[in-house]
Every structure is written in structure tokens, then in C-alpha cells.
Structure 1
Amino acid sequence: MRGCGRVRTVRGLWQWRHNPLRRVTDLAEACAALAAALLILCAAPAVGWLTGAVAHDALSDAVREQRARRHEVTATVVTVLAQPPVDPDPETSSARDAHRRVLARWTGPDGRTRTGTVHAPPTGAAPGDRIPLWTDGHGSPVGRPLDGATATTHAVLAGVGAAALTAGLVEGARRLVVRRLTHRRYARWDSAWERAGQDWGRAGAGS
């Protein structure tokens, strides 16, 4: 609704450009509103699309790189370790506090058998259970690689954010221009009233 109102305002001001009562500031305000509307309708989506495309390409490269360097193996739970106390402070506690740590054994991509402490699945684990585990080329545990759906979601969010930021900057610039024009208009009114006040009371001032 705000966009439609701005378009109607621009149309009205633009049609008024030949009115003998219009001021220079009125025409400047109409031009600023028209430029802002065009930039919001055209430039903001273009910036959003470009940002999303660049982010998607970068994230897609990251997905391919992580999938090439990270390997999913199956680890066997040896024993379930005692769960550390949960930190009551939400600002310092992490999501890992909710997962139990287990001692597990697995064979890495290099063929070597390794034993180490890893996080059990959220559903829990018991000795002898087999759990999925991501490792690097040397068999050391690493995080799960980024998937394509998550990369696409992040790229879309980046594009939407860039478009919204562009529109906000354009609207902010328009408001700044209108404010400066309004101040200039008030200054001219004050000057006109001051000149008119000097003629009040003089003979023939009203003629």
C-alpha cells in the first residue's frame, strides 16, 4: 500500500510540473520520488538477484569441496561416557551439551583403525551400536559437509537481504533529500515573510 501511495504521489507531482504555482523544490521532490521508485522497483531486485547468484556459486563450490574432502564412515560405539553437567547459563552453553559423548572405533578412508571420543546421535547410543561419522582424509572426525539445499537457502536469504538493504538505502536517501528540500522551502518562506513585514505600514504597501 505504501508503494502504491508513493506512485500516486509521484504521478501527481509529475503532472503538476507545468503548474505556474509549482516551486523548484516541488519539481526536485517529484524527481527524487520518481528516481527512488524506479530504483526500488528495478535496482533492488537486480542487486538481490546478483548477490544471490554470487552467494550460490560460492556456496556450491564449498559444497563440492567439502564433499570431496570429507568422508562418511560407520563407527562402532565402545562405551558411553559420562555426560558433563549442562551449563545453566544460556549465553555460554552450547547445543553440544544436549548430546552424549561416546568412545567409538572406526576405520578411516586411509584404512587405519582409529578410536576416539565423538558425539552420539540425538537419539542416543549404546555400546555396540553403529553410528555415522564424518572424517577427513586422515580419518579425523569433522563436521557434516554442507548440503545443496542448505546452500540454496543461504543464497536466497542473502539475495533477499541485499534487495531489502538496497531498498532501505534508497528510501533513506529519498527521505534525506526531501528533508533538505523542506528545510530550504521553510527558509525561503521565512525570507519572504521577513521582506513582506518590512513593507507593512508603509504608504502604498498594499497597492
Structure 2
Amino acid sequence: MPMTRRTTITMWRWRRNRLRRRSDTIEAWVLLAAWVLAAPGALVAAAVTTDVSVHRFDQQRRDSHPVTAVLTQRAASAATARAVDDDQVWATIRWSDPDGVMHTGRTKVAPGTPAGTPVPVWADGHGHLVSKPSGPATAEATAVSNGALAAAGVTATAYAGTRLVRRRLDRRRMAAWAAEWEQASARWGGRTG
């Protein structure tokens, strides 16, 4: 049995063709515009997001500094603590900022740590407790990941937009096709369906 060869006509939406509909041309232009804009848009989004993330991490490192706080009371044992997380319990600490103002707060310590034990924590310029800033390598890796996610978001938005336009164009094409079949059925005496 002889095999038939399937021929694919490239860029058929751009060529002159009596079967090409106006919606085919619109679809081709929408797809082209979406991907021409999405490629540089994704690169710009990645670069901007990475730069903003790096700047934010650098700012966190500049604004925070290590402080040695003192445990104000004995930390609860793991058995009596209400919330144990990562084998540590919450305890109250006291520290002073560079101006000599005393502050109190809560941080995680090992269960049963005695009162008066020095506890290393991080504080901002106002003396408020903050989490330990990320190191340069971790910050850079996180910034690159954020940039990649931003690029993926732009690409996904472009893809979703083209899918939406194509779906609407397909509905219009199907409606036009159904109307044409109705006209043909009326002309042929209702023998088309």
C-alpha cells in the first residue's frame, strides 16, 4: 500500500491564499507580536528583578549588625515548652543598642538555657530584632532565582495571552463556520445535516 506524504506549508498564515481568513492573519500578527515582545521583556524582567533583589540583600546587610543579648530568665525545657521548633524554644532576651537604650525581645534558644547566658542576635539601626541577613553567595543565588521566576512569569503571561486570543478567534471561526453551513443548508434544501 503506497504511503501518502504529508506536506507542511510553512508560514501559511502570511501567504496569499483564498482559504486564509482574516482571523488567521490576526492570529499570526498576535503570535508574532507576543513573542517578539516576550523575549526582551523576559530578559528585562530578569535583569531588573535580580538587581532589585541584590540591592535589597545588600541593604539588609548594611542595616543590620550582630548584637550580644542576655537571656533574662531560664529557657523552658523542651518538655514544658508550648512551642518547640527546630529543637529550640522561645525565650526573652535583653540587649542595648549603640545609643545605650535597653531593649527586650524574644528569640529562639536551646531548651533549658540558664538566665544570663549571652545570645547572639541581629538588630537593625533602631535596635529592633531582625533575622540574620543572607550571606553574599546565598543572596546572589536567591536574586538569580528571583530573576528567573520573573522571566518565567513574563513568558507565561505572553503564552496565556496568546492562548486567550487564539481561543476567542477559534470561537469566532466556529461561529462563522456554523453560519456558513446554515446558509448552505438553506440553499440545498436542508440536505447538509
Q: TM-score, normalised by structure 1?
A: 0.65
Aligned to 1:135: 123
- Which amino acid counterpart does residue 173 of structure 1 have in structure 2? V
Percent identical across equivalent pairs?
25
CA distance in 2, matches of 1:193, 1:13: 30
The structure 2 residue matched to 1:47, chosen from 25, 35, 41, is 41
CA distance in 2: counterparts of 1:70 and 1:129, whole angstroms: 22
Kept after mapping to 1: 8 A contact 2:13/2:20:
no
Structure 1 partner of 2:3: none
How far does the alpha carbon of each residue in 1:136-166 deviate from its partner, in whole angstroms, 9 at most, with x for none? Answer: 2232212344634323322321221221122
Post-superposition CA distance 1:84-113 (Å, at most 9, x none): 635xxxxxxxxxx625112334343x1526
Letter in 1 for 2:39: P
Partner residue in 1 for 2:82: 85
For residue 100 of structure 1, the aligned residue among 86, 89, 92 is 89
- Summarize the alignment of residues 167-186 of structure 1 with structure 2, pairs less than 5 Å apart: 167-186=159-178
Distance in 1 separating the partners of 2:112 and 2:42 = 45
Distance, in Å, in 2 between the alignment partners of 1:152 and 1:184 is: 48
1:28 match: 23
Tell me the C-alpha RMSD between the 2 structures.
Answer: 3.4
The question of whether the paired residues in 2 share the 8 Å contact of 1:56 and 1:155 is answered with yes
In the alignment, residue 11 of structure 1 is paired with which amino acid?
T
Tell me the SS of whatever aligns to 1:134.
Answer: strand
How far is 1:124 from its partner? 5.6
Pair 161,60 (structure 1): closer, same or farther in 2 beyond 3 Å = same
CA distance in 2, matches of 1:116, 1:188: 79
User: Helix, strand or coil for the counterpart of 1:85?
Assistant: coil
2:100 pairs, out of 112, 130, 133, with 112
The one-letter code matched in structure 2 to 1:185 is W
- In 2, the alpha carbon distance for the partners of 1:129 and 1:9 equals 77
**C-alpha separation in 1, matches of 2:155 and 2:74:** 49
1:78 to 1:112, Cα distance in 2 relative to 1, 3 A: same
For residues 9 and 33 of structure 1, what CA distance do their matches in structure 2 show?
A: 18
What residue is the counterpart of 1:90 in the other structure? none
How far is 1:184 from its partner? 1.1
Worse-superposed segment, 124-133 or 45-54: 124-133
Q: Would you say the 8 A contact 1:32–1:174 is kept in 2?
A: no
Cα-to-partner distance string for 1:51-74 (whole Å, 9 max, x where unaligned): 222222332332233222222223
Q: What is the letter of the counterpart of residue 91 of structure 2?
A: V
Quote the residue 1:60 is aligned against: 54
Separation (CA, whole Å) in 1 of partners of 2:118 and 2:34 = 54
Give TM-score scaled by structure 2 length: 0.69
Unaligned runs of 5+ in 1: 1-7, 87-96, 201-207
